[in-house]
Amino acid sequence: MIPVMGVSGQRVAVLGLGRSGLSAARALLEGGADVVCCDDSETGRKAAQAEGFEIADLTKQGAFEGIDLLITSPGIPHLYPAPHPAIAAAYAAGVPVDNDIGLFFRSYATSEWDQFEVMPKVVAVTGSNGKSTTSALLHHVLEATGRPSELAGNIGRGVLDIEPAHDGSVVVLELSSYQTDLARALTPDIAVFTNLTPDHLDRHGGMGGYFAAKRRLFAEGGPDRAVIGVDQEEGRYLAGQLSVAPSDDRVIRISSGQKLTGPGWHVFARKGFLSEMRKGRQVASIDLRLIKGLPGAHNHQNACAAYAVARSLGLAPRVIEEAFKTYGGLPHRSQIVAEANGVTFVNDSKATNVDSAAQALQAFKGIRWICGGLQKAGGLDALHPHLGSVEKAYVIGREAEVFARDLGPDVSVEICKTMAAAVDAALRDAKDGEVVLLAPAAASFDQYDSFEKRGEDFAAQVSAALGS
């Protein structure tokens, strides 16, 4: 646990009592705060009460009298589409609002660091797609090379639940826009921006607000080094904002698909090969094509980001390459769950939006595509250019007919509605060398509690269909 600094003797309210909220409450208590908790659900309130925390209704008149600070969970709106009533009350009372990420950055470094031979580092990864894989891959590389590392934030452990720093340790944080948007302290040593595609737009008041939330990771604290994906205008803009000259190697530009040139520090992947360029010269190359845990151009971008951070931390190219080879991938993200009779079954249930599904569709050939669910704003038009490798689509979800219609006339479609029916149909049709791919391009909430549950059902149905 990371005890929160600077709160001793203060009365601090915590709104939202899920994983991050309860973790924050414990860390605040450990730091000497008087903690009061609030949650809209009875389940959350009971969980906090079971640990001895005081419960209060922060929406009542005068609830913030005597409160010095409000800590809110990332999923609770604090601005758009409208602030939660308790947060609005805090604003009205002049009470500062923060989250667990802000608490972490103000509390992680301690006087004990003066005794370390190698200073600990914090790496923070954000972006629309790929941040989970980038974070997990980097964590894997560090562990494989013997560097003490912890994975936390939006993946792994709650950020305040990790252990205090060790000599030379590295904390890898995956941070969503919900987390970076509000945190009052953001001071990573290395910050990573993977890419930007439309998502959570209602929460951020549009695309500009969404990008602004991501950009805060780089603007608020000024990381020592920034790794920036430059395949989109926003990334190129951000890299330009952070650089003082073309040769400024505090910014490492990364790309999947385009060769990067110039006097700076670049890492890019083309045709399955990762290249590192410094001062206009190639200094290293890795063949990514045979690394099963990193299929497709989108994962090659993730590999570029993780490689760039690892190089910034002093690891040698060949050491990083060997670690890449043992990376098994994340559950629900291009995860191979079975191989039978020449057919590969891939779980990419995390492909909850059109862009991430498009990336998955470009990673394979001969695809039996299981898709569908709760569609997000914007429709499916952006998928149409990427359907060339789809042999047939097997559509699930309560509104499978609508989803199938929106796929257009150029792809063969079978309405299945349930995961069991889709797996059975895809297995019936699949030929040697083909891939049965779950990449829904939609949220899961019409049939499942989460994309994880959807992916687990896919794996279970595959196992049942194969008799394994």
Residue ranges at the known binding site for ATP: 127-133
Residues 69, 98 contacting (CB under 8 angstroms): yes
Q: Which residues contact 396 (CB under 8 A, 6 or more apart)?
A: 370, 371, 372, 373, 416, 417, 418, 419, 421, 422, 440, 447
Per the annotation, binding residues are 127-133
Beta bridge partners of 98: 71
**Virtual CA dihedral for 351, 178, 305, 450, nearest 10 degrees?**
-30
Instruction: Give the count of alpha carbons within 13 A of 79, CB side only.
Output: 16
- Backbone phi and psi for residue 255, each to the nearest 5 degrees, phi listed first: -155, 150
Rounded Cα–Cα distance for residues 355 and 266 (Å): 25
- How far, in Å, CA of 433 to CA of 390, rounded? 13
**What are the Cα distances from residue 259, in Å, to 230, 253, 269?**
11, 11, 8
> Do the strands 225-229 and 265-270 form a parallel or antiparallel pair, or are they unpaired?
unpaired
Check if the beta carbon of residue 125 is closer than 8 Å to that of residue 182: no
Please state, in angstroms and rounded to a whole number, the distance separating the CA atoms of residues 422 and 76.
Answer: 35
Burial class (CB within 10 angstroms; exposed 0-12, middle 13-18, buried 19+) of 281: exposed
